[in-house]
Structure 1
């Protein structure tokens, strides 16, 4: 399906299938967390953004305290919600005062244990990460920030300083990266990005398959390309540098993780596993159902002992 078409897949993706919008601006897709859309304004606009049809188009919600109060009331009355993700748009385009009002209201809800912010500001507007902002943010721990990174060229001195300020404030940082054709869809580029992120104290978190967004077909890669990159990272570098590769499933299916196939099959009570080098090993796993029968008569290369790193 072309990202420029209006075929059934694009329609199913845009419609998001069943509605998880409990009140306008609040998405309750997963049992214990909600996505709180607090603005439709961004510090930059990405052609491949999964919400590109919604941001700054003049047709969205009135993002004001009246609307936020409705979302907060839903969270207050939903004791299963432990985790609130502030997104949009980009929450860091809000002023410190407004952002603190939101965080303080959410922190007063006893069953809300974690707060998260999704942003690209440290990359495209690093001057936004001021000492005053970080002093304010650290008052609302546990607070996590997910930063949208695309390419190692974004790891500038200014971005490094912004991430240093956040990390020094005790805020755990994670990255979210979209796999883009011609931009970061080769192993060398992705490895440089992941290593560079670790050096500025950002943990690679998600690698997203590019969504079938209208106008995005030139950015999209085969899923096999993403699996190839994960295969080239896993085992060849530290596990801290390996993000979870996911598809945000059309029709409201949510994030579905994708992995290269490491389970080869079974031989009796042994599970047959393939490591990053392509070698097959036995693992004693009597009576389990994982792995289809596949006799393996060669001598195992594994003695049951191995290094962990």
Structure 2
């Protein structure tokens, strides 16, 4: 697949202002969708939420039918095709949800799903059957029950705030959450998962960045981005405010056909993260969410792409290629192997270097 890293000129800030585009009519009016495509896309929008922030809309090149930003955020008639293997809950959240709003799949960490809405809706979202503007935030008795569960499980060392996108919450609500997290003595690490710094960077003020800190805890923030074009000057400034406030920034990306599934784009994306003090963390193989087959490539193709990064890109830029096993069994690394022939204890092996040359390694 050819590289797609050419720079599309970002529109001036004044042109990126205004309301989010939340339906097909708005996309047609903006010139991001052809009028004749309205009927099938209306059917998509009736099933899956649509929203593009002004910052995202400004990054789309409407003259390019294969624009990688449009592919991420503009609905596509292909979303109406559901393959037999696709699942409404592809990673099995429900099977590991002891109380509403909590997913406790691994012993030492739990997800706290604070909201069901996002500022943008990714067309490949693994929670697309559960998120949207009509979803309720976790409040009142439901929030109390979620925190009671977290408080009672002393093995929980890390709490991950997710959704939806938890950074759509106001600074006041965020401070209420962080105050409650601060009271959980056994929790040592907190982590926020978000696209907001990239798609709505104006929300990340210095005050908001400080509000996300939990007193007495190590604070991590996982930033979701899939294409180097997302690193606009405004997004870079938002990331700097978060890093300067004291958050450790890590990345989350999804390997997507037509968006970043080539060496040049992946390399540029990972370098952009590192240049902005974001440590590449997970590169996800696309989940089996309904209507997302047009984004998926094979695991072998993904492994070959990730393998091409090793040795040709700084170690700081290497993500872990991850598969979330369908049904809820958890994440596993599925990156390529560079060592073979060492399966038997005491045996040596054959090591493959960055140029594909093989080297014998002696037995112990």
TM-score, normalization by structure 1: 0.86
Q: 1:15 to 1:181 in 2, by over 3 A?
A: closer
1:262 and 1:273 in contact (8 A); partners too: yes
1:63-82 equivalent positions in 2, closer than 5 A: 63-82=138-157
CA contact (8 A) 1:17 1:250 kept: no
Correspondence for 1:302: none
Deviation at 1:246, TM superposition (A): 0.7
After the TM superposition, which of the residue ranges 276-285 and 30-39 deviates more from structure 2? 276-285
Q: Aligned partners of 2:349 and 2:300: how far apart in 1? A: 25
Q: What does 1:101-250 align with in structure 2 at a 5 Å threshold?
A: 101-138=176-213, 140=215, 141-250=217-326
> How many equivalent residue pairs?
283
* Kept in 1: contact 2:89–2:127 (CA 8 A): no
SS at 2:303 equivalent: helix
- C-alpha spacing 1:62/1:125, structure 2 compared with 1 (3 Å): closer
The residue correspondences of 1:86-97 to structure 2 (distance < 5 A) are 86-97=161-172
Q: Deviations over 1:50-103 (max 9, x none)?
A: 111111263x55521321111110010001000000000111100111111111
More strand by share: 1
Which residue number corresponds to residue 52 of structure 2? none
1:227-272 alpha-carbon deviations (Å, 9 max, x no partner)? 1111111111111101000111101121111121212214974222
Deviation at 1:36, TM superposition (A): 0.6
CA contact (8 A) 1:175 1:202 kept: yes
User: 2: distance between equivalents of 1:155 and 1:225?
Assistant: 26
The superposition leaves residues 89-139 of structure 1 with CA deviations (integer Å, 9 ceiling, x where unpaired) of: 111100111111111101111100000000000001001100111232345
- Which secondary structure does the structure 2 equivalent of 1:52 belong to? coil
Equivalent position SS for 1:232? helix
| 1:26 to 2:109 alignment | no
| Counterpart pick for 1:258 among 334, 344, 352 | 334
SS of the aligned residue for 1:10 comes to coil
Cα distance change of structure 1 residues 14 and 136 upon mapping to structure 2, 3 Å threshold: closer
Residue 18 of structure 1: how far off its partner (Å): 7.5
Task: Judge conservation of contact 2:270–2:280 (CA < 8 Å) in 1.
Answer: yes
Q: Please say if residues 12 and 250 of structure 1, whose CA atoms lie closer than 8 Å, have aligned partners that are also in contact.
A: no
When normalised by structure 2's length, the TM-score is 0.74
* Deviation per residue, 1:117-169 (Å, 9 max, x gap): 00000001001100111232345341100011010000100000000001111
Q: Does 2:94 align with 1:51?
A: no
Are residues 27 and 17 of structure 1, via their aligned partners in 2, closer, same or farther at CA, if it must alter by over 3 Å? closer
1:167 & 1:244 partners in 2: Cα distance?
A: 22
Residues 138-147 or 179-188, more deviating: 138-147
For residues 194 and 327 of structure 2, what CA distance do their matches in structure 1 show?
Answer: 25
Contact 1:246 1:258 in 2 (8 A): yes
Match of 1:84 in 2: 159
In structure 2, what is the Cα distance between the partners aligned to 1:17 and 1:72? 18
Q: What are the ranges of 5 or more consecutive residues in structure 1 without an aligned counterpart? A: 287-309
Contact 1:208 1:245 in 2 (8 A): yes
Cα distance in structure 1, aligned partners of 2:137 and 2:262: 41
Measured after TM superposition, the shift of residue 12 of structure 1 is 8.1
C-alpha deviation, 1:209, in angstroms = 0.8
Question: 2:359 aligned with 1:281, yes or no?
Answer: yes
Q: 2: CA distance between counterparts of 1:71 and 1:18?
A: 15
1:283 & 1:6 partners in 2: Cα distance?
A: 45
- The answer to whether residue 75 in structure 2 is matched with residue 5 in structure 1 is no
